[in-house]
Amino acid sequence: MNESQFMTKLNEALLENQRIFKLNSAVLHKEQTLVIVFIVDAHTYDEKLDDGLKEKVENIVLQILPKTFKYEIRYKKTVTEPKYITKAILDFVYNEYPSIYSFVQNSNIDVTIEGDTVKVTLFAESYIYKFCLNAGLAEKLEENLTRNFMEDVALNIVETANKTQIDIITEAPPASEGIKLISVSVSEHIYGIVGKKPRYICEMKETEAENVTLCGALSGLKARKYKEKEGFFYTFSINDTTSSIDAKFFPRNKKAIACGEALKEGDILVMEGTLKFDKFSNGISMMVNKLARCTIDYDSIDTRPKYKTERERYINIHPFPYKNEEQKTLFASDRSKEYGIFKGKSFVVFDLETTGVTNTDQITEIGAVKIVDGEMTEIFHTLVNPQCSLSQDIIKLTGITDEMLADAPLFEDVAHDFYKFTRGAVLVAHNAPFDMSFIVRQGRAAGYNFDNSVADTLVLAKQTLKMKSYKLQNVCKELGVSLEGAHRAMNDTLATANIFKRLLIMSLDT
């Protein structure tokens, strides 16, 4: 029975809303165990793949396939996004064609998702293009991607002239970080020849994978028996400073046994092997098939996040000028002492609406106003699709509905614009830790580090005013600032900007 027939029979036995699986692999392991791996879209995985459905799939598989084997069924989440597809391409090339990895990493890779099809174009310079053509790389990559993502993948490799920069898109995204590698120098090949640079353990320890190279300091070395007639195996851990991972080495001959006996605590090793789920440690372990002693260039290890940088232009959300006659009189008198607070400084006062107050809730609206030299100059405003339904309490509080957010951009599509709007400015909010927690968390997830200095009008109010409650509405009332339509980001932002200016001036007189 081929894969297509197997999936047809499986789907025929499932209800329509249960047909969420795609066959990733079916590999016969030792002891006649057939390991079947299905991929499931991440959203569907969390929503539909419960214990009941897993049990149903297992029963169907037992009915479809012969009773010759034992079966183990595993499930993997998959997310169809350009960055994950690009990473999968680099992973494949690194494992299968390491000699051209650096060239492919620096090539332009265009990913377009159209319904149930992913179109990938890899632009390769002439000398790499010829290698790709001869190696059948396009066909192999296409097959690999189709296996690992729910959609069908159409991959095309386009030849470009050598050493020519191609400027296709004005607002090109930042270059891919690629695969992080560690520089090592092999001093002694213990068993087999290790031929590739090792990867960061922290980036590999959560996923099963073949032909992986890792390095690190050995600890916890133990020899364990697994069957009297078959001998023993070694277990240990290695740590490369990014993380640690358990490893197992099964000697299959006298040379391998001698190699295992030569290992000792503290050895610095580089190893090749397979990463797989180990039921004994209840996690991913490396099954070692090659290992060597080495020295590690620890300066080559950089675990600092690589955040995106500011783009030249706004892409989706463009700020617009702020016009208000009231602010023209704010500094009408020659009070240089007061004016000096704002002179040469930029502030961005902002407010968010969210789906809730926990660290798993999402932003639904951003309102911000920029203050330069004491004058409000620009406004930034957008609704944000949180990709979830709002509670009735939130709808009642903010007036924002699911219908209003249905066609709004995702946060990752406005993050770069808000990042650009806030560069070089102090961020200001009322109860700033709350709003900053959302901006920092979702910003970093989108690749942007909002590392601005922060001012809090709640703290300023407590230092300047004597009140029982320092809620925004109460502070506005105390200072005579209008606040209509509270709990909408832009209304709250403009009110916060006005009390911020007044509180700063008042603080000089205290």
Q: What is the distance between the alpha carbons of residues 134 and 204, in angstroms, rounded to a whole number? A: 30
Looking at residue 142, its pLDDT comes to 93
Clarify whether residues 126 and 189 are in a common domain: no
Q: How many CA atoms lie within 13 A of 43 on its CB side?
A: 6
Q: Which two tokens stand for residue 278?
A: 């180990």
Clarify whether residues 194 and 230 are in a common domain: yes
Residue 169: inside a domain: no
Q: Which two tokens stand for residue 272?
A: 């090749």
> What amino acid positions are annotated as catalytic residues?
487
Helix (H) or strand (E) holding 233, with range, is strand 231-239
Q: pLDDT per residue over 396-446, tens digit each?
A: 888 899 999 988 999 999 999 999 999 999 999 999 999 999 999 999 989
End-of-domain residue from the set 77, 103, 128: 77
Residue 308: inside a domain: no
Residue 192: inside a domain: yes
Say how many domains are in the chain.
4
* pLDDT tops 50 at residue 482: yes
Pairing of strands 184-191, 70-78: unpaired
Q: What is the distance between the alpha carbons of residues 22 and 3, in angstroms, rounded to a whole number? A: 10
Q: If you average pLDDT over residues 368-388, what whole number do you get?
A: 91
Q: What are phi and psi of 485, to 5 degrees?
A: 70, 50
Q: pLDDT per residue over 137-192, tens digit each?
A: 999 999 999 999 999 999 999 988 765 433 333 333 444 456 789 999 999 888 88
Q: Which segment of 316-325, 365-374, 421-430 scores lowest on mean pLDDT?
A: 316-325
Query: What CATH number did the domain enclosing 108 receive?
Result: 3.30.300.180
Q: pLDDT per residue over 230-274, tens digit each?
A: 667 889 999 999 999 999 988 777 776 777 788 889 999 999 999
Looking at residue 230, its pLDDT comes to 62
Q: pLDDT per residue over 189-239, tens digit each?
A: 888 888 888 999 998 888 788 889 999 999 999 888 766 556 678 899 999
Q: pLDDT per residue over 18-36, tens digit each?
A: 999 999 888 876 667 888 8
Clarify whether residues 466 and 364 are in a common domain: yes
End-of-domain residue from the set 300, 332, 362: 300
* pLDDT tops 90 at residue 324: no
Looking at residue 329, its pLDDT comes to 42
Clarify whether residues 135 and 241 are in a common domain: no
Query: What CATH number did the domain enclosing 31 receive?
Result: 3.30.300
DSSP 156-196: EEEEE-TT------TTPPPPP----B--EEEEEEEES---S
* pLDDT tops 60 at residue 330: no
Measured in whole angstroms, the distance separating CA 405 from the mean position of its chain's CA atoms is 23
Residue length of the chain: 510
Q: What is the distance between the alpha carbons of residues 483 and 472, in angstroms, rounded to a whole number? A: 9
Clarify whether residues 350 and 237 are in a common domain: no
Clarify whether residues 296 and 414 are in a common domain: no
CA angle 126-128-133, nearest 5°?
90
Residue 305: inside a domain: no
> What residues contact 253, with CB distance under 8 A and at least 6 apart?
none
- pTM for the whole structure: 0.52
Clarify whether residues 69 and 102 are in a common domain: no
For residue 38, count other CB atoms closer than 10 A to its CB: 21
Residue 176: inside a domain: no
End-of-domain residue from the set 268, 300, 332: 300
* pLDDT tops 60 at residue 328: no
Clarify whether residues 95 and 138 are in a common domain: yes
Whether 205 contacts 284, CB under 8 Å: yes
Count Cβ neighbours within 10 Å for each residue of 454-465 and write b for 16 or more, e otherwise: ebbbbebbeebb
Clarify whether residues 353 and 499 are in a common domain: yes
Residue 166: inside a domain: no
Query: What CATH number did the domain enclosing 475 receive?
Result: 3.30.420.10
Residue 449: inside a domain: yes
Clarify whether residues 285 and 329 are in a common domain: no
Q: Looking at this protein, which amino acid is placed at residue 135?
A: A
Clarify whether residues 404 and 425 are in a common domain: yes
Q: What is the distance between the alpha carbons of residues 101 and 131, in angstroms, rounded to a whole number? A: 12
Helix (H) or strand (E) holding 292, with range, is strand 283-296
Clarify whether residues 252 and 342 are in a common domain: no
Q: What is the distance between the alpha carbons of residues 193 and 182, in angstroms, rounded to a whole number? A: 17
Q: Which two tokens stand for residue 246?
A: 């358990």
Q: Which two tokens stand for residue 67?
A: 């009773």
Q: What is the residue range of 123's domain? A: 82-160
Residue 174: inside a domain: no
